[in-house]
Amino acid sequence: MSAPTTTNDGLDDFLSSAKNHGIPDESIVMLLRQNGWPERRISRAFSAYYASVLGVPLPIRTGRSEHARDAFYYLLNFIMLGFWTIALGQLFYVLIDRWLPDPVTHLYQSSRSLMDEIAWQIATLIVTFPAFLFVHRLIGEQLRSRPDLYESGVRKWLTYIALVIAALVVLCDGIWLLQTFLRGEITALFILHSLLLFIIGGGVFSYYLVTINPPRSDR
């Protein structure tokens, strides 16, 4: 493992000289900041200085690649989640429409379009649901082996975004239901559609709300 590289801009010499004169780190950092030195360059100079004094290079944390990996897993997970939940919702929506046909719109539906719609949703479910389960399982295994990943910023951000979307679905469903009720247009078909949206949105919301924090036994 190599020590942090030094640049010939005088900062490293200045830092060594300042430290040899007993100037505390805070004062040096403040002075350098005021003179326009970027944080990264100051950190690198300190890393090089302490590596030479201690004789041990600063351990390199693999944080960045972890963030990228987390982003990959979680983005894939949530994209798959979006695909299969929408496909499942659409599939049940069409099936409910078939069993309780709306007399107004039913006349315009052909059996061909119904079949196309169902086939599309089934295909989406068959491809994305196993993919989702696989990625979800990988994430679960990682979290079990390394509980510190529960605190990953990428994980929290993406999970909270998914929570917001799921909450919006449930809230809009509630508004839709209430508005239809107030207009006196509520039907069994409408209640079933609304219930379907509530079950899927509510299920996703409650699942991610419960699992965003580590289980109590792991804390």
* Residue 142 touching another protein (CB under 8 A): no
* Residue 127 touching another protein (CB under 8 A): no
Query: How many residues bind to another protein according to rule CB under 8 A?
Result: 26
Quick one: CA dihedral 137, 205, 167, 83, positive or negative?
positive
10 vs 33: CA distance, rounded Å: 15
State the nearest-atom distance from the C-beta of 73 to another protein, in Å.
Answer: 18
Site for another protein in 18-77 (CB under 8 A): none
Q: What are phi and psi of 209, to 5 degrees?
A: -70, -40
Q: Residue 196 in contact with residue 92, Cβ under 8 Å?
A: yes
The 8-class DSSP code of residue 110 comes to -
Segment near another protein (CB under 8 A); pick from 17-25, 36-44, 83-91, 182-190: 83-91
Among 98, 134, 138, 191, indicate the residue that binds another protein (CB under 8 A): 98
State the nearest-atom distance from the C-beta of 102 to another protein, in Å.
Answer: 14
Segment near another protein (CB under 8 A); pick from 14-22, 69-77, 102-110, 171-179: 102-110
CA distances from 197 to 129, 167, 177, 178 (A): 18, 11, 11, 14
Q: What are phi and psi of 58, to 5 degrees?
A: -65, 125
State the nearest-atom distance from the C-beta of 174 to another protein, in Å.
Answer: 20
State the nearest-atom distance from the C-beta of 84 to another protein, in Å.
Answer: 7
Q: Residue 154 in contact with residue 72, Cβ under 8 Å?
A: no
170 vs 198: CA distance, rounded Å: 6
How many residues are given for the chain?
A: 219
* Residue 101 touching another protein (CB under 8 A): no
* Residue 126 touching another protein (CB under 8 A): yes
* Residue 206 touching another protein (CB under 8 A): yes
* Residue 138 touching another protein (CB under 8 A): no
Number of helices followed by number of strands (H, E) in the chain: 7, 0
Rule CB under 8 A: which residues touch another protein? Answer: 84, 88, 91-92, 95, 98, 107, 109-111, 114-115, 118-119, 121-122, 125-126, 129, 199, 203, 206-207, 210-211, 215
